[in-house]
Structures are given as C-alpha cells and as structure tokens.
Amino acid sequence: MIKGIINYSHYLLETAVEKGDTVIDATCGNGHDTLFLSKLVGETGHVFGFDIQEQAVINTQNRLTKNRLTNTDIIQDSHSNFIHHIPVDKLTRLGGAIFNLGYLPGSDKSIITRSESTILAIEGILSHLKQNGLVVLVIYHGHEGGTEEKEQLMRYTRLLDQKMFHVLYYGFINQKNDPPFILAIQKRN
C-alpha cells in the first residue's frame, strides 16, 4: 500500500534513526512528530524540538508530559539557531531531523516557515548529520508564501552534491488543493 505523507515521513525516519541517537524536530507544532521521535530514540536518545511560537511549545510539552516522556528539550527559537541549543556531545549522534513546513494548524496562518531560515537549518544539520542520517522535509505549500518556500527548497536540494547526498521526492500528483509532499535528504557513506 502507498503510505500517506506523514506515515511515509515516519517510515523514512525509522529506517535511519537508531536508539540512542539525537534527533531534531525543527517545527514541533502540536508535538506529534516530537512524540514519535522521542519513542524512536528511546531512553538513551534525545530529541530537541524547536518552534518560534509559544503556543506550539506549550502544546508539545503538554503532549510529552501526558505520555511521560522526558528525553526531550523543547525550545522556543528558530530552527536556524539549533546549534546554540544542542551540546556538542549530542551533535555527534545526530541521526535525523524532521520539518513540517507551513503554519501551525489551528493558529495564525500569517506566521509561516520561511525558506531562508529553513535552508540555514538544513545546512547546519547536514554538516553534523551522521552517515546515513536523514533530514525529512514535509512541505505544505498551499498557503500564502508557501509556493516561494517550496521553489527555494526544490532549488536548494537539487544542487546538493549527489556524491554526498541522496535526495528523494515523494508526493501525490493527482490530489487537488496543493497537497503536501516530502523531500528527504540522506547523507551518504
């Protein structure tokens, strides 16, 4: 069966991330991916979640508390500043990251992710990512500003050196209303 976008993003991360890894939820939103990542890396791993909106941080912390998960740090800051919040010893086990780009569901739709900060974050993460580590971008682009971000990310990922990275595109081409799609970047051996 063909997997939906979120299910496929999680499937990809399950293939790359190991127990004990450090992972990044670059846009923690309502905490669904943070919860998934926390369980994926286990008690010996660690999740760093980022969001610029206070409500997203609160929503994520509440979800983690409800599930009694403590292997996380949720930070109200741009994902482009991740390097200032993650200790060096955690960066050596950076196994993956996920971005859900667009806006926080159920909130102010004028607060959106931007390609400038997203690309800065991706570049930094790729430079610290372990071999075969994975960055998954779930790109929601059916909103004002979404098309520009999508185009910039497509341009950026197309230029990544194929000797260093595999870049996968996964999406449904017969769905209406600008369906989200995935760009996944795997660091090669």
Any idea what the CATH number is for the domain that residue 82 is in?
A: 3.40.50.150
Q: Would you say residue 41 lies in a domain? A: yes
Q: State pTM to two decimals.
A: 0.96
For 163, the domain range is 5-137+150-187
Q: Would you say residue 65 lies in a domain? A: yes
Confidence at residue 144, expressed as pLDDT on a 0 to 100 scale: 86
Number of compact structural domains in the chain: 1
Q: Would you say residue 12 lies in a domain? A: yes
Q: Would you say residue 145 lies in a domain? A: no
Residue 161: phi and psi, rounded to 5, are: -65, 120
Q: Would you say residue 35 lies in a domain? A: yes
Q: Would you say residue 142 lies in a domain? A: no
120 by Cβ neighbours in 10 Å (0-12 / 13-18 / 19+) ranks as middle
Confidence at residue 48, expressed as pLDDT on a 0 to 100 scale: 98
Paired residues of 147 in beta bridges: none
Confidence at residue 173, expressed as pLDDT on a 0 to 100 scale: 93
Sheet holding 94-101, edge to edge: 72-76, 46-51, 22-25, 94-101, 134-139, 181-187, 165-171
* pLDDT tens-place values along the chain, 189 residues long: 899 999 999 999 999 999 999 999 999 999 999 999 999 999 999 999 999 999 999 999 999 999 999 999 999 999 999 999 999 999 989 999 999 999 888 888 888 899 999 999 999 999 999 999 999 999 999 888 889 999 999 999 999 999 999 999 999 999 999 999 999 999 998
Q: Would you say residue 143 lies in a domain? A: no
Q: Would you say residue 144 lies in a domain? A: no
